[in-house]
Amino acid sequence: MSQEEKEQFQAKIERLDQRGSGQAVVWRENEKGNPKKLKLVVPQTIPGEEVLVDALYPTKKWSKTELKEVMDASPERTIAPCPHFDICGGCVWQHWEYSGQLKHKTEYVKKAIESQGFEPELVKPTIGMDRPWDYRNKMEFTFSPEGNMGMHEQGNFKNVFDLETCLIASDDMVNASLEVSEWAKDHGLKGYEKEEHTGLLRHLMVRQSFTTGEIMLALIATQSPNGELEEAVNDLINRISKFTKVKSLMWLENTLWADRVDAEAIHVLAGRDFIYDEIYGYRYRLWYDTFFQTNPTQAKKLIDLALEVGQPKEHETMIDLFCGVGTFSLPFASRVKRLAGVEIVESSIESAKRNAVENGIDNTYFIAQDARRGIDHVLEEFGQPDILLLDPPRSGAGGKVMRRIGRSKPKRIVYVSCNPSSFAEDVAELKPFNYELKSVQPVDLFPHTVHVELVAEIVLTNEEES
């Protein structure tokens, strides 16, 4: 990069963007000598800090930067313990004391609901973790065209750095994953090249139950493990056999161009095609594509809060929208007369049905439909629900679904969200139906990242007028 393409500035970090990087504003003269505002994006900084940065391409409105020096550090700044912190796009806040992260997440949720006309005082302090490390029960690693296995670089998604460790996954998960990485290098197996669509290995998905200890390893590749790969695959099976907690070793074929963990064919190399997990006293089967809360410690707190907000009673009926495999359904079904779960993913519904049977729960009714049609179906079958719980994807439930919820008139609504912004927009749709947002409790399921979940209590205030 030439000297003309960068310029050095001293700036104060004013806020954070959606990716967790600091933002600052400076003024510089343009080619005509007139002052022009330049907005800087500075990773690994904290609001209030004074920094010295090199702005890349400063003639643009926004500029990425290289952080040269933190001139006035925040008292909440700390040393990031991970050796990959400077390049990894995962835990972008390891330089920030955990208490500071939690305060910021609380303020973020407050601003989100305030933007939709709700009082920020409804938001309680974010519930954090006693130990915000080793908390993930699922990780996905990527292979580079050279055969390295790791994570994508921050700001350069095409590059994959070679993994040495990961502080948010268990030692068992990391050690088993590193064995796969060494195996690939020893056999000279190349990673997938996205632009040319060449290479063999695409991803490694590893998940572990923190309750049973069982581990699943799923290697995603562009061809079958048979034929010319048979010797290498047999070596992989032999190497992994020393990890006694691995109960599922699979090879998933994926020739699709889309860069995601998917399977056109599944080969079980050792063990089963699923592992057992438990949460809140209920047992679940997890397949490679099963959605399950990735932080089991905090997931238990989510369920605690949902039960506290929902106040389920044995004579009541309930709908669980976006129910998945029944993470919330089963604890609630044990406390109500009847529960209907709605989920658009058919495999999740089949899992929810199986999970209910295996846990001795016989008062559930699960259907594979989209949320809006699913509500109509349940209303026809069971009538007006007393409680409705929804845990939608990051995009939220959407206006049509929320208005349908409003017209169905459940007495109490429990909203579990992983996106405060879409949550606030969704809840605003309930105002014309006389629903009141009573409380919002943020919960940190992803320490050292920008993400925060929440559980909200919403009640019908005047059914006669709604």
Q: What is the DSSP string of 334-366?
A: TTSSEEEEEES-HHHHHHHHHHHHHTT--SEEE
Q: What is the DSSP string of 58-73?
A: TTSSEEEEEEEEEEE-
| C-alpha to C-alpha distances, 231 to 139, 176, 183, 236, 269, nearest whole angstrom | 27, 20, 12, 9, 13
Q: Where are the beta strands (DSSP E) in 395-434?
A: 412-417
Pick the catalytic residue from 88, 91, 323, 418. Answer: 418
Please report, as a single letter, which amino acid is at residue 284. Answer: Y
Residue 39 · residue 57 · CB < 8 Å: no
Question: Is 18 one of the annotated binding-site residues?
Answer: no
Q: Quick one: DSSP state of residue 229?
A: G
Question: Is 391 one of the annotated binding-site residues?
Answer: yes
Strand, coil or helix: what is 53? strand
Residue 428 · residue 462 · CB < 8 Å: no
- Distance of alpha carbon 346 from alpha carbon 174, whole angstroms: 32
The first and second tokens of residue 462, run together, are: 């005047």
Judge whether 91 counts as a catalytic residue.
no
Q: In what order do the strands lie in the sheet with 338-343?
A: 364-368, 338-343, 317-321, 387-390, 412-417, 453-460, 435-443
- Distance of alpha carbon 356 from alpha carbon 240, whole angstroms: 32
The string over 180-193, giving b where at least 16 C-beta atoms fall within 10 Å of a residue's C-beta and e elsewhere, is bbebbeeeebebbe
Which residue positions form the known binding site for S-adenosyl-L-methionine? 293, 322, 343, 391
Which residue positions form the known binding site? 293, 322, 343, 391
Catalytic residues: 418
